[in-house]
Chains A and B, each alone.
Chain A
Amino acid sequence: MMYVSTTERMSFLADNPPVQELHVCDSQLFSAIRNHMRALFVAIYSPEGDARQNEPALALRMEMMKWLTSPLIPNTDLLLSFGLVNELHTRHRWGEYAVREVMALKDLISRYREEGSVLNKEFVQVFCNLTVEFGQDRLKIWCHRNERDLFRALLDGLTVLEDHAFICSLAEYRSCPPADALIRFGPLRTHGMAKTPEALITSPAYRRLVRFVWKGLTDEEQFAADPLVPEHNWLTTMRSVRHSVTDSARVGASPLVEEPADDIVFFAGTKGADRGMHRCVLVELPGDWGVLLRPGTSQLIFAPLRNDCDAIAYRHIIDVEEGDYLLIHDADADFGEISVDAAKAPLAAVWKKALADLYKRQSGLCVQKMKDAGISLRHLHRAAESWMSLNGSVIHAPQRRDHFQALLTCVIDPELIPPRSHNGQAVPGWRLAWAEVAASRSTAVEHGVMESAIVNEQLIVELRNELGHLRDMVSPDGGYHHLLTPESGLAGSVRFDPVISIASGFAAPQEELGKPMKLLVAEQYRYESGDAL
């Protein structure tokens, strides 16, 4: 990382007021593809369906976003991979309209691939001019890490773009010395699928911002308003020069080929109903995977740019940055099992023996009595066998108090445990036995929490000891799997997953949080700021 002093940054800003050069491109052919993609999406997307049922539609939507915000040239691979080009299958599943849209898209996409993208051509031309003007080392491209090869392919034969020609995260942006020109594809939005860090505009580290945007995709109105002084908008106060570029390809008179709409807004409005959703952030990991996490949670993080003393620590997700590593571990330590001591659970020993006697004698009758008593569990035989045993770290018993009461008062002899007088009041036997069960559960929970705290603490100590080795082994392009040594007193392993990006504006059901999932599935949980949760 290169050190850039505050004075260097501030002087650069004072001496070089940033200028925006906006290249807005229009293509009839591409507009037609956009329109047909929207129509096909509507035909195959089911608003009531879940992410798995809607996978083809979600993949289509994701692909469309890439076409709109990156140099990716449309192709028909996606239609093929989901069987959409199979007429019979498509007609059967989604109807005749979908088949027509697929056919139109196939034709348009193959024509477009022959013609080439006017946006990409404009980029190549401008990049060559900028290289002459400033020198290639003074140019940077801000893009998603996965898009770097697309830019390399565009400039294939003209120049070679090394990794340092790209900025893929805010952390990289902050650590880079100011550039002469920063290149960026797509509109500027704070939400949705074209989300861009406002720092790109509010914290300029360039002389010229060169942007390539498809017609119809405007910047968000309030984008780059100062967070503390909202009346000051850094985008509207930036000097701007606009170039419009149109390609010559014609599609013919078609009602679909009109003024291009804002597809990003359109697709943002197409998502499933919100059912018990929790706000979360999407942490993007390599290989088009990601994990949704609650914003307030602490995660074990390796931050390679920090000093040794605070490189590995639990951090709030708000403090995690692109380039850090999310640590997922299954570390465990053998603290010895705590088990139920029969001497400390005398009542459990009594009712469990009675239950065991009854079940062994007449298991059918025992289960019938349980049913009649209102113990409405699906597997009563398995439950009875579990409740009879007296081992493990807790007293196995019904989870619900009313089930426990029913077991001791209706299934086995209700007089088995005599009532006891307490403060002049008789406490029934089943309540005394329930108190014993509850106490064993709280001990087990306490033990578990303490074990977990000890493991977490020891894990940090162990990883800090290995820091030199870890710094050598981790790589931003893929994860690293670190096996814990027995000397550490821990067993298991730790996976280091590089954080590619963190995007807020997601809401997902509880069961999806913390679970690695494909990005296109995670996209389903993106919500707009106006959505009620």
Chain B
Amino acid sequence: MKKIEAFIRHEALEAIHDKLATMGLPSMSVTEVKGSGRQKGFTESYRGAKTTIFLRPKLKLEMVLDDTDVDRAIDAILELAHTGEPGDGKIFVFAVEESIRVRTGERGDVVLAPHPEETAA
């Protein structure tokens, strides 16, 4: 089991989500975050007083996946989050020790599997 943490642009989310869903990987958490990196900040001018905002809004997309799904998920994110300009984001991959479904108490890879109806579809 691996966890992907991808920092992406807001406008990339919908396409990534749709693509991953069609690949049978619909489970994700998305958080609005602010961060700084290679992309420069911007200047806000308010009534003549200026200030530089170095934190820009981004989305953090988190997914826990079976090892065999990690590469194709990353490929999908790379394809759809890429514009070529600074600020496209970054992807990090972590090892995950355990996963548990709260409703049933199931443990392990079965927790990561998409819903049976989706697999059928």
Do the two shown chains form a genuine complex with each other? no
